[in-house]
Amino acid sequence: MTQRITVIRGDGIGPEIMKSTLRVLDTLDAGLEYDFQLAGVAAQEETGELLPQATLDSITENRIALKAPLTTPVGGGFKSLNVALRKHFDLFANVRPAISFKGTKSRYENIDLITVRENTEGAYLGEGAWTAPDGSRAESKMVVTRAGCERVVRFAFDLARRVGRKKVTAVHKANILKDVTGMFLNVARDVAEEYPDIEFNDLIVDNACMQLVMRPEQFDVIVTTNLFGDIISDLCAGLVGGLGLAPGANIGKDVAMFEAVHGSAPDIAGKGIANPCALLLAAAQMLDHLDQSDKAQRLRQAIAEVIAEGDRTTPDLGGSGNTEQFTDAICERLV
């Protein structure tokens, strides 16, 4: 059976890494049909809109989207398109695995953790955001709901069970932000009782950051609120060799959207040297989601082997290859 997915090629390095990713998916024979849609600056140039209705309709219909990075124009009051997409489709759980690959410049070798970031509430809602006309004061509100906390914590525990993880750590700042992240912590403690097979602990966010750098191997699944999750997942990407290796899945009740964590990298766009791995690893998450975990595993294995070998990787990983040679090397291992 063919599965139709919405594909957004994106801006900057987006089209380069998407080309590589689709080639790999075709080599894997993943049975996907691509419904190409526009978003970001590419969409604005062609349709006058950053997020055309046709793109939203396509995602609603296909329920699965693979998305390359989008450039959010600076100034002019543009809201982040990613935040807009997550909000529109209520993609409440952002799943960001950080896994060590042998052959990177990372200080660590055996990191294997997943951050589950709440994606629709908290500090990124933009509620009550306000700057005084004279520029002397600015405000924004942080809002969480019990239901919003509960669904993401439950998602993290269910994920842990499904993929055989042993421990969930809730990260918060309940000692200071007592109401907002205190609610998150209380809900996490309540939900944890329903999962006696999964170990549970909690850490205050600043301590969690230090622990992640000192002893990352103690972590398995981390669940946290929107702002902390944004920061912690980049920290984790740094632990395993940088943004070029960091994928993310945005999961909602009806729709799931898979993407690289990094942006459109305008500084290297058009040079053909972008690392395609973050989007490739996001494609692997998508294959897991589509019950094609055997292919997802083959893909991860091929990426790991090519990185370990080293000579055909992109410059950000210390290699002397380009996007195409990196992709060739991965495809060779998949046929």
Q: Are 36 and 7 in contact (CB under 8 A)?
A: yes
Binding status of residue 69 toward ligand NAI by CB under 6 A: yes
DSSP 164-200: T--EEEEEE-TTTSTTHHHHHHHHHHHHHTT-TTSEE
- Residue 178 designated active-site: no
Q: Residue 312 interacts with ligand NAI (CB under 6 A)? A: no
Closest distance of CB 203 from ligand NAI, Å: 26
Q: Is 76 left (phi over 0), alpha (psi -120 to 50) or beta?
A: left
**Binding status of residue 275 toward ligand NAI by CB under 6 A:** yes
82 scored as a contact of ligand NAI (CB under 6 A): yes
83 binds ligand NAI (CB under 6 A): no
Among 230, 259, 288, 316, binds Mg ion (CB under 5 A): 230
**Residue 268's binding partner out of ligand NAI, Mg ion, none, with CB under 5 to 8 Å set by partner kind:** ligand NAI
Closest residue by beta carbon to ligand NAI: 263
Size of the site for Mg ion (CB under 5 A): 1
For residue 234, indicate whether it is catalytic.
yes
Asked if 206 is an active-site residue, the reply is: yes
Are β-strands 221-224 and 112-118 bridged in parallel, bridged antiparallel, or unpaired? parallel
Measuring CA to CA, which residue among 144, 181, 185 is closest to residue 168?
185
Considering the complex, state which of residue 82 and residue 292 has its C-beta at the smaller distance from ligand NAI.
82
Residue 6 partner contact from ligand NAI, Mg ion, none using kind-dependent CB cut-offs of 5 to 8 Å: none
124 classed as catalytic: yes
In terms of C-beta distances under 8 Å and separation of at least 24 residues, what long-range contacts does 19-24 make, across chains too?
Answer: 20/276, 20/279, 20/280, 20/323, 20/324, 20/326, 20/327, 21/66, 21/276, 21/279, 21/280, 21/283, 23/327, 23/331, 24/276, 24/280, 24/283, 24/299, 24/327, 24/330, 24/331, 24/334
* Known catalytic residue at 220: no
What are the residues binding Mg ion (CB under 5 A)?
Answer: 230
Residues annotated catalytic, as ranges: 124, 173, 206, 230, 234
What are the residues binding ligand NAI (CB under 6 A)?
Answer: 13, 69-72, 82, 243-244, 259, 262-268, 274-275, 278, 316
